Amino acid sequence: MSLELFGHPFSSYTWKALIALYENDTPFAFRTLGPDHPGNGAAFSALSPVGKFPVLVDGDRAIAEATAIIEYLDVAHPGAVRLVPDDRIAAIEVRMLDRLFDNYVMTPMQTIVGDALRPDDQRDAYGVDRARAMLDTAYAWCDRHMATRDWAAGGAFSLADCAAGPSLFYADWVHPIGDRFPAIAAYRARLLARPGIRRCVDEARPYRPLFPLGAPDRD
């Protein structure tokens, strides 16, 4: 039985799992979630503990959460691109950076996007201001971190870069990186040049009108 990934092409965390699959040309079937695919939704509802995607299905095993999916693929379906190093100390850095991108770039980005989806009388200006401040803090850290390296954890593309790809892609739409942080801007460009990430960008392109803040006319 082939792998199945439940998610949506415009979802940042779905991208994160897709990047890992695309990097190694791992065969899988994509099960799009949405009103046009009710059968996928019915199957998905029995798989996800809290109704969040992506979820990877491998036979009778279902793995939720993008980081866990990538860890699983690296062990159960390894490819030429090893996304978590065998060296345990090196692996700690990769996992740490994965958490940093998810928690301090992806999460504040999603806070700002989520606020834009609220009714006007339920907006949280204070929460949005805090999210933007967190992004500025994360950008400053990341700019220093990436000043002397090509990939997040050093010389090789890894789980950490799978996290950074969608995080920085959408964060730059929400809170532009601009010229303030040249090392991040260059890193983001390298990420978008990866064939797997470029494929995610292109597959998500038809859904850009759904972006509540208005997708910029670039990328």
Q: Where are the alpha helices (DSSP H) in 117-158?
A: 125-145
Kindly indicate the confidence band of residue 2, based on its pLDDT and cuts at 50, 70 and 90.
confident
Spatial distance between the Cα atoms of 54 and 90, rounded to a whole number of angstroms: 26
Beta strands in 144-198 (DSSP E): none
Is pLDDT at 1 greater than 70 in this prediction?
Answer: no
Same-domain check for residues 150 and 182: yes
What's the number of domains the chain is made of? 2
CATH number at residue 142: 1.20.1050.10
CA distance 33 to 18: 14
Q: Which of 52, 76, 100 is the last residue of a domain?
A: 76
64 and 96 belong to one structural domain: no
Say whether both 94 and 186 belong to one domain.
yes
138 and 98 inside one domain: yes
Phi-psi region at 126: left, alpha or beta (left = phi > 0; alpha = psi -120 to 50): alpha
* HSE toward the beta carbon, residue 162, CA cutoff 13 A: 31
Same structural domain, 116 and 141: yes
- Contact between residue 172 and residue 212 where contact means Cβ atoms under 8 Å apart: no
pLDDT of residue 155: 86
Distance from C-alpha of 42 to C-alpha of 110, rounded to nearest angstrom: 26
Are 100 and 69 in a shared domain?
Answer: no
CATH number at residue 25: 3.40.30.10
Tell me the per-residue pLDDT of 114-142, one tens digit each, with 9 for 90 and over: 999 999 999 999 999 999 999 999 999 99
Tens digit of each residue's pLDDT (9 = 90 or more) over 171-189: 999 999 999 999 999 999 9
Pairing of strands 28-32, 3-7: parallel
What average pLDDT does the segment 184-210 reach?
A: 97
Domain that holds residue 27: 3-76
Do residue 94 and residue 71 come from a single domain? no
pTM for the full predicted model: 0.96
